[in-house]
């Protein structure tokens, strides 16, 4: 089976092609496309087709939509980011950089953002445009795109990103519109109140620009007929089998005087068996292996995280922090029935659990050191405000754990009720490790395994006093993590799953939302994280890392702690 092209007999392909193009091209042209696809299907093309570069990768979890309004899942985000652009984008250091907006200003009160739009950005060609040529992007396209996200009829899971826009339909504040096109090159966003993380939120794929005439023509089918401005254009999607994107010859970004992208195409496969996909990668059928699965972790890596000897030099490994914190949550709402008689209401017990197991040993033997022990707060390594010298969490200290147990009235755990920890099967090994280590200091843990969907629902409904959780950053600002502990964000309406409530924390959180100076705001974030560590509503396990394997002939694959997949600068030598 080829992993470069869409593999179908000509007849079914023509059916899909004609349906997508609505009979806008000739049979001669369609046959030409079939020939091109046939050439791409050759895993080892001969010299007549040399110079055509196709980047191949596998997406085991599948893709559900190519519409940026539904770019919630990471697999969708990766594909959508090749097809669309927004006002701004992130660099490898998580700094916000210009994209379709060449510059912007923020008002002194932090409530108004004014963006200046480039005049050389065009949508991909499509028969629905005049003469089939993509038209220029103007400010009003962003008005349409953003209003579409908050429109209830769209039902976008990203509507929350604009909760703070000054929208009369939501806030009933007269005289303001959330999004304004002052002219074709000036786009304005009005906020209800200052919110410094907002510029980072605008880097999310939800904020991509889309053309009104194309979206309204295809309706819900825009998910499979995406027209954007990105470095690659949609060509073909056989769901569950293959997605093919062609190079956008009119892309607006360049590097050192060279128009991007360098690749001719991107081909995405959907092999669900991760072990099989990894084997295909080692055989050169894929250019990228973007995650390390437990099924082949020990085959690939030594305990220190280095490559096993048999793989040295065969491909390159790129690893860096990934903004994901794995943790155990502890419900603190004393009105919740499940906390009746629970020792977790005592801070000393929560702290003893935090001190009672060795995170470093856990990472070595269960994770092959993929990740960093979580000993410096809830905000993960890789976040711009992260500072392990200013936020001190919990490291392994049996003596402190035993003293805390004694101070709580349970010397060596005597009289301490059994504590139930709820998790999913994926993380059972981590929980069993913690269970074994805590038993050594007198804390007995019972582990209950839940289905993933059931687990999340029970957490949201306050039915689990002690539960495994994780938080992947939606945007690169620590506020995203600290919002989990703000008292006005109690679940089920917000992400505060522990129902942590602290007046000092709330005051610092609200103050941070008025501060535009990064260094001052970061200091407030660190104070908040330190307060959370002191009260211990969570047991931080580790900060994740991304680990990508790429073939030796791949250059220019940039990445960042958001684990973005940026292919526009990739070269295949």
Residues 291-301: pLDDT tens digits? 888 888 889 99
* 556 occurs within a structural domain: no
Confidence of residue 558 (pLDDT cuts 50, 70, 90): confident
Same domain for 361 and 287, yes or no, is no
Cβ pair 569, 337 in contact under 8 A: no
Residue 126 has pLDDT above 90, yes or no: yes
Answer whether residue 113 shows pLDDT above 60: yes
Selection from 161, 173, 180 nearest residue 117 by Cα: 180
Residue 47: is its pLDDT beyond 50? no
Instruction: Kindly report the number of other CB atoms within 10 A of residue 120's CB atom.
Output: 11
d(C-alpha 508, C-alpha 511), whole Å? 5
Q: Is the domain of 413 the same as that of 492?
A: yes
The terminus-to-terminus CA distance of the chain in angstroms comes to: 23
Closest CA to 487 of 479, 497, 477: 497
What's the rounded Cα separation, in Å, for the pair 399 and 404? 9
In this structure, are 442 and 571 located in the same domain?
A: no
DSSP per-residue letters across 272-325: --HHHHHHHHHTTS-SEE----TTTHHHHB-TTSPBPGGGTTTEEEEEEEEEEE
557 within some domain: no
Q: What is the pLDDT of residue 292?
A: 84
- Of 196, 220, 244, the one marking the end of a domain is 220
Tell me if 180 is assigned to some domain: yes
- The reported pLDDT for the residue numbered 3 is 31
Mean pLDDT of 240-255: 96
Say how many domains are in the chain.
3
Least confident residue range of 285-289, 343-347, 542-546, 558-562: 558-562
Domain membership flag for residue 534: yes
285 within a domain of the structure (yes/no): yes
pLDDT band at 173 (very low <50, low <70, confident <90, very high): low
pLDDT of amino acid 52: 82
Inform me whether the pLDDT recorded for 56 exceeds 50. Answer: yes
The pLDDT of residue 6 is above 50:
no
Domain, as residue range, for 289: 1-81+230-314+565-573
- The residue-averaged pLDDT of 239-268 equals 96
Classify residue 500: in a domain, yes or no: yes
Give per-residue pLDDT as tens, 300-359: 999 999 999 999 999 999 999 999 999 999 999 989 999 998 999 999 999 999 999 999
What pLDDT is attached to residue 51?
65
Same domain, 28 and 103: no
pLDDT mean over 400-424:
97
225 within a domain of the structure (yes/no)? no
Q: Indicate whether 172 and 69 sit together in one domain.
A: no
pLDDT band at 493 (very low <50, low <70, confident <90, very high): confident
Query: Looking at the structure, do residues 133 and 62 belong to the same domain, yes or no?
Result: no
Per-residue pLDDT band for 32 (boundaries 50, 70, 90) equals: very low
Q: Which residue has the tokens 């890789």?
A: 382
Assign residue 42 the CATH number of its domain: 3.40.190
* 222 pLDDT above the threshold of 60: yes
Most confident region among 11-15, 23-27, 189-193 by mean pLDDT: 189-193
Q: Are residues 358 and 469 in the same domain?
A: yes
Asked if residue 167 has pLDDT above 80, the reply is no
**Within this chain, do residues 277 and 212 fall inside the same structural domain, yes or no?**
no
Domain shared by 132 and 169, yes or no:
yes
Q: Choose the weakest-confidence range: 20-24, 160-164, 361-365, 515-519.
A: 20-24
Is residue 555 in some structural domain? no
Mean pLDDT, rounded, for 150-158: 95
Mean pLDDT of the chain: 90
Handedness of CA 455, 456, 462, 468 (dihedral sign): positive
CATH at 166: 3.90.76.10
Dihedral of the alpha carbons of 510, 91, 62, 161, in degrees to the nearest 10: 30
CA atoms within 13 A on the CB side of 20: 19
Q: What span, in angstroms and rounded, lies between the C-alpha atoms of 16 and 221?
A: 14
The reply to whether 391 and 269 lie within a common domain is no
Q: Are residues 358 and 506 in the same domain?
A: yes
Looking at the structure, do residues 510 and 537 belong to the same domain, yes or no? Answer: yes
């Amino acid at each position: 089976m080829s992993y470069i092209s869409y593999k179908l007999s000509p007849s079914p392909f023509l059916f899909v092609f004609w349906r997508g193009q609505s009979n806008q091209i000739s049979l001669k042209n369609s046959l030409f496309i079939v020939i091109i696809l046939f050439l791409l299907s050759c895993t080892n093309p001969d010299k007549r087709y040399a110079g055509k570069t196709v980047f191949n990768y596998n997406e085991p979890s599948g893709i559900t939509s190519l519409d940026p309004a539904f770019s919630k899942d990471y697999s969708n985000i990766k594909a959508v980011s090749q097809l669309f652009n927004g006002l701004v984008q992130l660099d490898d250091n998580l700094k916000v950089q210009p994209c379709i907006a060449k510059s912007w200003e923020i008002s002194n009160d932090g409530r108004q953002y004014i963006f200046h739009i480039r005049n050389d950005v065009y949508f991909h060609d499509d028969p629905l445009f005049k003469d089939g040529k993509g038209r220029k992007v103007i400010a009003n396209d962003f008005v349409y795109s953003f209003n579409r996200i908050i429109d209830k009829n769209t039902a976008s899971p990203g509507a929350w990103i604009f909760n703070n826009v000054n929208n009369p339909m939501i806030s009933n504040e007269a005289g303001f519109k959330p999004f304004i096109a002052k002219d074709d090159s000036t786009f304005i966003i009005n906020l209800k109140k200052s919110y410094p993380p907002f510029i980072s939120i605008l880097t999310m794929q939800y904020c991509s620009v889309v053309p009104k005439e194309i979206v309204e023509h295809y309706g819900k089918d825009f998910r499979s007929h995406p027209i954007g401005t990105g470095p690659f254009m949609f060509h073909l999607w056989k769901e569950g089998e293959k997605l093919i994107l062609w190079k956008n010859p009119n892309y607006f970004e360049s590097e050192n005087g060279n128009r991007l992208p360098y690749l001719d195409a991107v081909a995405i496969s959907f092999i669900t068996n991760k072990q099989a996909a990894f084997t295909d990668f080692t055989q050169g059928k894929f250019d990228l292996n973007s995650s390390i699965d437990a099924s082949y972790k020990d085959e690939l890596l030594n305990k220190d995280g280095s490559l096993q000897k048999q793989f040295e030099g065969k491909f390159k490994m790129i690893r860096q922090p990934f903004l994901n914190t794995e943790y155990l949550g502890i419900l603190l709402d004393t009105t919740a029935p499940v906390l009746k008689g629970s020792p977790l209401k005592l801070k000393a017990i929560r702290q003893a659990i935090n001190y009672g197991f060795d995170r470093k040993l856990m990472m070595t033997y269960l994770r092959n050191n993929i990740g960093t022990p979580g000993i410096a707060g809830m905000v993960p390594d890789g976040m711009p405000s992260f500072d392990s010298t200013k936020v001190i969490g919990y490291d392994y200290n049996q003596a402190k754990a035993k003293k805390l147990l004694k101070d709580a009235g349970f010397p060596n755990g005597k009289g301490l009720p059994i504590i139930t920890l709820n998790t999913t099967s994926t993380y059972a090994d981590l929980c069993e490790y913690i269970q074994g280590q805590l038993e050594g200091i007198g804390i007995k843990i019972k582990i209950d395994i839940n289905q993933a969907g059931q687990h999340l629902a029970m957490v949201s409904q306050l039915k689990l006093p002690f539960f495994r959780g994780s938080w992947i950053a939606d945007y690169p600002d620590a506020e995203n993590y600290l919002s989990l502990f703000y008292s006005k964000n109690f679940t089920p309406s917000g992400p505060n799953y522990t129902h942590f409530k602290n007046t000092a924390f709330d005051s610092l959180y609200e103050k941070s939302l008025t501060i535009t100076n990064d260094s001052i705001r970061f200091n407030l974030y660190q104070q908040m994280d330190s307060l959370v560590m002191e009260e211990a509503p969570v047991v931080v396990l580790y900060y994740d890392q991304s680990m990508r394997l790429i073939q030796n002939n791949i250059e220019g694959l940039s990445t960042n702690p958001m684990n973005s997949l940026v292919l526009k600068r990739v070269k295949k030598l």
